[in-house]
Amino acid sequence: MSTIKSIAIVGGTHGNELTGINILTALESDPFNEFDDIFQFQHVLANADAVAANVRFIDVDLNRQFTVENLTCDNDMLHELTIAKMVNQQLGPKGASKTDLVIDIHNTTSAMGATLILLEDSPFYRNMGGYLKMHMPDVNILLEDEVTYQEHPYLCTIGTRGIMLELGSQPQGVSRMDILLQCKAMLQHVFAYCDLYNRELLSQIPHFDAFRLIENINFPLDDEGEIKGLVHESLLDKDFCRVEVGAPIFRLFDGTEICLTGSQAIYPHFINEAAYLKSKVAFATATKFEW
């Protein structure tokens, strides 16, 4: 069994998502981690220039640069691509990592609450999700396994194992103490899980409800590619709530409704995420399953 010895806590991957940045400050100024003597921790401020400018990124989204192709290319013109290579050397390298677990902390403007994002369907991740649900029942578990772990472009995948904590709703460039405390609690439960996992002391984890990513849904566009409607008012602030086929999902500016088609209900999330507007993504969809 591959144990967890080294853990990296990453904030500032997106410079205007402040909870991870505040967590790093809290760790330095007022250590709260009872597991400091158990694990080898690294605290990483990923994109300091974006943090200083209070923007998501300088050139490109850092959390989409961690593909094998990007990490091995010769391009040194993009700020975040250069950073990705540096962080990969510090914590990785991807595919042969010196870090057992990378925890990347994010905020969303969507009403997703506290969400644990996992990238692989395996006993380690499944049991982590279940352990967290046992101790924080309101936490959402989101599985994004549409590609393999190594194919994901996310920063956390430079670790042998990697997860993302997504907390919202929180506006860009704004801090909230309630969300910071949620994040602290999530981290403590993840550390406790890893400690029990290492010592083979985990009790049986019961089945729990989780969500599996399907796809991103774009806003409706006109012939010029401009947005011609918004997310329907019935979906607003209802991330991870069930939407049946035939229910309205968009309302155009002329008042026309666009309804969900297809053969299955969906569970939208990242609804109206501010960072996705530029790419015209309105929300992501998921199915609900028992894990």
Residue-wise pLDDT for 66-123, tens only, equals 999 999 998 889 999 999 999 999 999 999 999 999 999 999 999 999 999 999 999 9
Residue 217 and residue 96 in one domain? no
Q: In this structure, what DSSP letter does residue 61 have? A: -
Tell whether the model's pLDDT for residue 33 goes beyond 70.
Answer: no
Residue 121 and residue 69 in one domain? yes
| Residue-level pLDDT at 2 | 86
Residue 193 and residue 238 in one domain? no
The amino acid at 155: L
Q: What's the average model confidence in pLDDT over 250-279?
A: 97
For position 218, which CATH number holds? 2.20.25.160
Which of 240, 264, 236, 259 has the alpha carbon at shortest distance from 248?
A: 259
Tell whether the model's pLDDT for residue 32 goes beyond 80.
Answer: no
Q: How many CB atoms lie within 10 A of CB 123?
A: 10
Is 60 a domain residue? yes
Cα separation of the two ends of the chain:
22
Tell whether the model's pLDDT for residue 30 goes beyond 80.
Answer: no
Tell whether the model's pLDDT for residue 234 goes beyond 70.
Answer: yes
Which of 18, 79, 72, 11 has the alpha carbon at shortest distance from 41?
A: 11
Residue 162 and residue 190 in one domain? yes
Is 1 a domain residue? no
Residue 79 and residue 142 in one domain? yes
Is 118 a domain residue? yes
Last residue of a domain, one of 146, 170, 198: 198
Residue 95 and residue 222 in one domain? no
The amino acid at 60: V
Look-up of token digits 């330095």: 28
pLDDT tens digits for range 42-74:
999 999 999 999 999 999 999 999 999 999 998
| Residue-level pLDDT at 34 | 81
Residue 115 and residue 171 in one domain? yes
Q: What angle do CA 240, 187, 204 make, to 5 degrees?
A: 75
Last residue of a domain, one of 169, 198, 227: 198
Is 79 a domain residue? yes
Residue 256 and residue 161 in one domain? no
Residue 118 and residue 254 in one domain? no
Assigned token pair, 2: 């591959």
Look-up of token digits 């309101």: 138
Residue 179 and residue 224 in one domain? no
Last residue of a domain, one of 150, 174, 198: 198
CA atoms of 154 and 54, how far apart (whole Å): 21
| Residue-level pLDDT at 157 | 98
Cβ neighbors of 125 (< 8 A, separation 6 or more) are 118, 119, 143, 161, 163
| Residue-level pLDDT at 29 | 77
Is 207 a domain residue? no
Residue 131 and residue 274 in one domain? no
Q: Quick check: bond before 169 cis, omega within 30? A: yes
Question: How far is residue 269 from each of residues 8, 51, 140, 178, 287, measured CA to CA in Å?
Answer: 27, 26, 11, 21, 11
Is 240 a domain residue? yes
Structural domain for 261, as ranges: 212-290
The structural domain count of the chain equals 2
CA atoms of 49 and 45, how far apart (whole Å): 10
Phi, psi dihedral angles at 261 (to 5 degrees):
-110, 175
Which of 1, 2, 4 has the alpha carbon at shortest distance from 163?
A: 4
Tell whether the model's pLDDT for residue 31 goes beyond 80.
Answer: no
